[in-house]
A and B are shown apart, each in its own frame.
Chain A
Amino acid sequence: MSDFFSSVADYYNYLIYIVLMVIGLYAIIAKKNLVKKIVGMNIFQTAIILFYVSIGAKRGATIPIIEHGHGEAVHGAGSQAIKAAEYINPLPHVLMLTAIVVAVATLGVALALAIRVYNRYETLEEDEILAQLREK
């Protein structure tokens, strides 16, 4: 039992990301409201970003901005050696900047489409739209 708790303590960040992802996935599939689905889609994307950021975390390290680094003063001289263990891994952060921007782009497009759909059918509920389509 204590083994289980220690593994949960080790992995709780990963755990939360799975929970959030499942919430988002459920919302996309099961919710009938189009905007709710978009909210779910965003939660899903953010969960994946949380996963990547968790990969990037490193114990005993600081944020990835090199200290005492001011342009020309350091480069070339190579006076102090920079140790990779002192700084958090920047690569996942870079990837996630991209992912966040992609998420907001998708959000804009999805909302624009939702507005088009609303203009046409006067409702955002998927089942009501399908009922309207079936009538014709």
Chain B
Amino acid sequence: MRTLGILVAALTCALLFYAMGDFPPWADPGSAAHTHVSPRYIEKTMEETSVPNAVTAVLADYRGFDTMFETTVIFAAGVVCFFILRLPKKEGPIFRRYRHTLTGMTIRVKCTRKIPPVLEEFEMIDNLWAPHDLIIKTSCRILVPFLQLFGLYVIAHGHHSPGGGFQGGVILGASMILLAISHDLRTALARMGEKVHALLCPIGVLIYAGTGALCLVLGRDFLDYGALAGILHVDPVTARSHGILIVEIGVGLAVMATMIWIYNNISSRGEYDEGL
């Protein structure tokens, strides 16, 4: 295997080096990549979509169809992780261990699938139980709302600064994942259950594809946000800008929900019981 690896790597290396001689010089403003298609994006983005961030404009409008499928890829990954890993709910009672914090006594409780209410003086113990550090717990809990606020800002401000649905969605998802890591999966699931993120994920993509389909119904091409002008009572260019915002919100929702979904499945091996 090792020799095969070296052989394949060397072959690829040689092939790519062979082609490198004919590359245009690095960062040359006159090369074909910079002169054929892309100047229009830079020069017309304000005029045609009124979005100053050219990347957002190209992402969600000129090449919006790519982005729709990119969101679909994320959604598919979420469904695949669920499909592969999620174990069916076990029938019958489950035994959970609790520790009485005052005396240090451990008890075993027979309970159903539903997690019983948490009492102040009892602490749930998992197989992989480790005492949680108070500093980490508290500081992460303080961090979470700020992260979420930042995520929302990134989604909403993608028109004018770097950012947009993906980055914001990932940050929102990361805030929930942080909660799950610093506390445990149950705490995070109590805030946002499995059904919620499993439903949010297709709904996010549905917002994107639905916007496109709405344009189709209104008589324009698929994803032609200019068609929304009549509904939003604005001129077609501003309608494009608003369309991009709607779509970015959909992307953000889908990405957030999927990140949480994948993390929950991987970290609990599909049992949705004990986190990391």
Interfacial residues, chain A to chain B (CB-CB below 8 A):
10-15, 18, 21-22, 25-26, 29-30, 32, 54-61, 63-67, 69-72, 74-76, 78, 81-85, 87, 89-95, 97-98, 101-102, 104-106, 108-109, 111-113, 115-116, 119
Chain B residues, CB < 8 A from A92: 33
Which of A26, A32, A112 touches B84 (beta carbons < 8 Å)? A112
Say yes or no: B54 contacts A64, CB within 8 Å: yes
Say yes or no: B160 contacts A29, CB within 8 Å: no
Say yes or no: B47 contacts A30, CB within 8 Å: no
Say yes or no: A69 contacts B74, CB within 8 Å: no
How far, in Å, is A43 (CB) from chain B's closest CB?
12
Say yes or no: B20 contacts A14, CB within 8 Å: yes
- Known: A74-B46, A82-B43, A90-B41. Contact between A65 and B161, CB under 8 A? yes
Say yes or no: A29 contacts B70, CB within 8 Å: no
Say yes or no: B52 contacts A66, CB within 8 Å: yes
Say yes or no: A90 contacts B161, CB within 8 Å: no
Say yes or no: B80 contacts A109, CB within 8 Å: yes
Q: 8 A-B contacts, Cβ less than 8 Å apart? A: A65-B52, A90-B42, A90-B57, A91-B41, A92-B33, A101-B73, A104-B77, A109-B77
Say yes or no: A101 contacts B16, CB within 8 Å: no
Chain A residues, CB < 8 A from B4: 29-30
A22, A72, A92 — most chain B CB neighbours (10 Å): A22
Report how far A81 CA is from B43 CA in the complex, Å.
Answer: 8
Which of B2, B54, B73, B80 touches A65 (beta carbons < 8 Å)? B54
Question: Looking at chain A's contact residues, is the secondary structure mostly helix, strand, loop, or mixed?
Answer: helix
Encoded as 1 (CB less than 8 Å from any A CB) or 0, chain B from 6 to 44 comes to 101110110011001001011111000110011101110
Interface residue? B50 (CB, 8 A): yes
Chain A residues, CB < 8 A from B80: 108-109, 112
Report how far A30 CA is from B10 CA in the complex, Å.
Answer: 13
Interfacial residues, chain B to chain A (CB-CB below 8 A):
1-2, 4-6, 8-10, 12-13, 16-17, 20, 23, 25-29, 33-34, 37-39, 41-43, 45-48, 50, 52-55, 57-59, 63, 66-67, 70, 73-74, 76-78, 80-81, 84-85, 160-162, 166, 237-238, 241, 255, 262, 265-266, 269
Which of A21, A72, A93, A111 touches B12 (beta carbons < 8 Å)? A21
- Known: A21-B16, A70-B52. Contact between A14 and B26, CB under 8 A? yes
Which of A18, A60, A108 touches B266 (beta carbons < 8 Å)? A108
Closest-by-CB residue of B relative to A68 is B52
Say yes or no: A65 contacts B26, CB within 8 Å: no
- Known: A25-B8, A82-B42. Contact between A112 and B20, CB under 8 A? no
Chain A residues, CB < 8 A from B42: 64, 66, 82, 84, 87, 89-90
Report how far A114 CA is from B159 CA in the complex, Å.
Answer: 39
Say yes or no: A116 contacts B77, CB within 8 Å: no
Report how far A115 CA is from B80 CA in the complex, Å.
Answer: 13
Chain B residues, CB < 8 A from A95: 66
How far, in Å, is B115 (CB) from chain A's closest CB?
23
How far, in Å, is A9 (CB) from chain B's closest CB?
9
Report how far A21 CA is from B78 CA in the complex, Å.
Answer: 27
Say yes or no: B12 contacts A22, CB within 8 Å: yes
A sample of 13 more A-B contacts (CB under 8 A), given A67-B52, A94-B63, is: A22-B13, A26-B9, A65-B160, A84-B34, A85-B29, A89-B38, A90-B41, A90-B55, A94-B66, A104-B77, A105-B76, A108-B78, A112-B81
Report how far A97 CA is from B64 CA in the complex, Å.
Answer: 12
Closest-by-CB residue of A relative to B37 is A91
Report how far A25 CA is from B66 CA in the complex, Å.
Answer: 27
Say yes or no: B43 contacts A18, CB within 8 Å: no
Say yes or no: A115 contacts B266, CB within 8 Å: yes
Report how far A25 CA is from B14 CA in the complex, Å.
Answer: 14
Chain B residues, CB < 8 A from A18: 13, 16-17, 20
Report how far A113 CA is from B47 CA in the complex, Å.
Answer: 47
